[in-house]
Structure 1
Amino acid sequence: MNNVIATVDISKCFGKLTAVDQVSLHVGAGEIYGFLGLNGAGKTTMIRMLLGMIKPTAGRAYINGRGVGAGNYELWKNVGYMVETPNAYPELTVYENLEIARKLRNIKERSATKRIVEKLALTEHMHKRARDLSLGNKQRLGIAKALIHQPQILILDEPTNGLDPAGIVEVRNLLKELAANRGVTILVSSHLLGEISKTARKIGIIHKGKLLNEFDVDEFERLKERRVQVKVKNMGYAKAVLENNGYAMTQKEDFLICSDPKAVASPEKIAEILVTNGCPPRSLGTEQEDLESYFLRLIGEKGN
């Protein structure tokens, strides 16, 4: 798959602070790429470098195979973006803000504004001043400005901030529709792991400026940890019994946990050993990591 958005060992330092540290991203055509990290991990700095808003200290960013730089104006004709807090003229209405965006994008079609207002569910707020909008509707306005020229590349920084659950679902469905039906390449940064897991086909995890992993959703099935979780009355004794039978156990709160593949494949053996040794389990089950659990384990292991 051709990479529509890519970086090669890109870094950004602010004095002694390294905000992004030798990151290489690969976003394929028509892909929704979820860029995950805690607040302050380096997501927004990376997006600003992708958009040419700040210059990298080292490395390069590429859009459609062309290097991002201050002079490459043609790159942005087919890119829509929203970075951090969506900007708008506060004294102007939603409609007026979008009309300005339409004219700045040199869009001749006057119906473009009405079309995007309807698509982002802003019709009832069309004549409200931007300053009077709720946080969620300001976010909708920002996304509308990013989409008004029907770009083939979309870069969004925390697009669901301030949205209620229904609004989050609307944005999720919109992004999926753009990628599936129009082949739009989308990079979306977020700290909402559950939401990204429902949207993205490929995920990159950044922590303290470093890219810890990059994988597609199919590969995630191989990466996520599966484990057996047991609850018993005498935790210390049960742990010793299982370890004497070759199972590496860890204790977490009221449970004993084992990630050994042989335990996951045959959890009934765990139950059999415990019953034989006089400490039958109160509960026993297998579980597998979701994206949130994997993320927390990864930043714990690699990101300290």
Structure 2
Amino acid sequence: MKESYAIETRHLTKRYGEQVAVNDVCLHVPKGHIYGLLGRNGAGKTSIMKMILQLMPATSGETLLFGEPVKRRERSVFQRIGAIIETPGFYPNLTGTENLEIFAKLRGTIRPDAVEHALQVVGLPYKDKKLFGEYSLGMKQRLGIANAIMHDPELLILDEPTNGLDPIGIAEVRAFIRSLSEKEGKTILVSSHILSEISMLADDIGILDHGVLLEEETMEELKKKNQKYILLQVSDTAATARILEQRMALQVGEYSIQDTTSVKIFKTTIDREALVRELTLQGVGLSGLAEKDDTLEDYFKKITGGEGIA
């Protein structure tokens, strides 16, 4: 059991009759990281979050929170979690402060300055006279996050927190989600259908398509896959790897064997003429050498086998 994960799901599945909404998902959210769950609308992101929070029963599989199966610590564990699932609901005829004070009482929040502190973290004024009904979308999302962090949770689960915001609002929400991780030490699971936002925000990423988790890795690994690289098509990848290390002075990680005929070289400044010469001398057949520059959008298309994502 890995305690380094704030969230781990094991073969999480949700069926509605014959329809499979979430299919055998094994998710791993490291403590202290921002994990971006990326997928088109309807991919199953909200269903996964609801099952993690026990707001929806799973058809099969289990969820571990902080290294323990949820059923063993069902009550106490949720005191360590804050969440926004779908649109935050507040009273439109009350101020932001008044709304949070109500939720603090309902939740039994002990800290006397919990409301003031939560508003300060998200950049909203305390004791402001502005009613929630007059808030912009960005302010509403901030208040939703303030409500989720009032009890100082270790883990935040945020479902599409930038949905419906203008570019300025998106940037603002992104900035203080990042600050919650860096300054407050929160672990954050955030879902989105906006690839560019996830790429700027997350430390780790899971790509979801039609309820299936297709890939899960760090953003650093993902960006490495999608940076500029030289693609070699060769007859012998093992011999090519030896040449790259021994003759071209490349380190492990500066190249990657893709399959039985393809090698990616991430160090694009390599002497290509010298490389071709070494391959020829060693009897390695070279059928292709080209520089590529895939984007994250290209990568999403490639692994989903379909259209792109915003």
CA contact (8 A) 1:93 1:128 kept: yes
> Aligned equivalents of 2:13 and 2:149: distance in 1?
29
Closer/same/farther in 2, CA of residues 103 and 70 from structure 1, 3 Å limit: farther
Q: Which residue matches 1:296? A: 301
- For 1:130-141, list aligned pairs within 5 A: 130-141=132-143
Q: Which residue matches 1:104? A: 106
Q: Which residue matches 2:219? A: 217
CA contact (8 A) 1:136 1:161 kept: no
Q: Give me the TM-score of the superposition, normalised by structure 1.
A: 0.76
Closer/same/farther in 2, CA of residues 130 and 260 from structure 1, 3 Å limit: same
1:44 to 40, 43, 46: 46
Q: Deviations over 1:217-245 (max 9, x none)?
A: 222244327478xxxxxxxxxxxxxxxxx
Q: Which residue matches 1:253? A: none
1:175 to 174, 177, 183: 177
Q: Which residue matches 1:205? A: 207
Q: Which residue matches 1:126? A: 128
CA contact (8 A) 2:119 2:126 kept: no
Q: Deviations over 1:41-93 (max 9, x none)?
A: 00000000010001100100111122224971111111010001111123322
> Aligned equivalents of 2:264 and 2:64: distance in 1?
41
> Aligned equivalents of 2:69 and 2:263: distance in 1?
46
Q: Which residue matches 1:31? A: 33
> Aligned equivalents of 1:138 and 1:70: distance in 2?
35
- For 1:241-260, list aligned pairs within 5 A: none
> Aligned equivalents of 2:73 and 2:80: distance in 1?
16
Q: Secondary structure at the match of 1:154?
A: strand
> Aligned equivalents of 1:157 and 1:222: distance in 2?
27
Closer/same/farther in 2, CA of residues 302 and 21 from structure 1, 3 Å limit: farther
Q: Give me the TM-score of the superposition, normalised by structure 2.
A: 0.74
CA RMSD of aligned residues (A): 3.1
Q: Secondary structure at the match of 2:201?
A: coil
Shifted more, 200-209 versus 97-106: the winner is: 97-106
5+ long unaligned stretches in structure 2: 231-261, 274-289
Residue correspondences, number:
260
Q: Which residue matches 1:189? A: 191
CA contact (8 A) 2:204 2:218 kept: yes
Residue 123 of structure 1 and its aligned partner are, at CA, apart by 1.8
CA contact (8 A) 2:120 2:126 kept: no
Q: Which runs of 4+ in 1 moved over 4 A?
A: 225-228, 259-262, 264-269
Amino acid at match of 2:26: S
5+ long unaligned stretches in structure 1: 229-258, 270-284
CA contact (8 A) 1:225 1:294 kept: no
Residue 202 of structure 1 and its aligned partner are, at CA, apart by 0.5
Residue 104 of structure 1 and its aligned partner are, at CA, apart by 2.6
Q: Which residue matches 1:77? A: 79
- For 1:157-168, list aligned pairs within 5 A: 157-168=159-170
Q: Which residue matches 2:93? A: 91
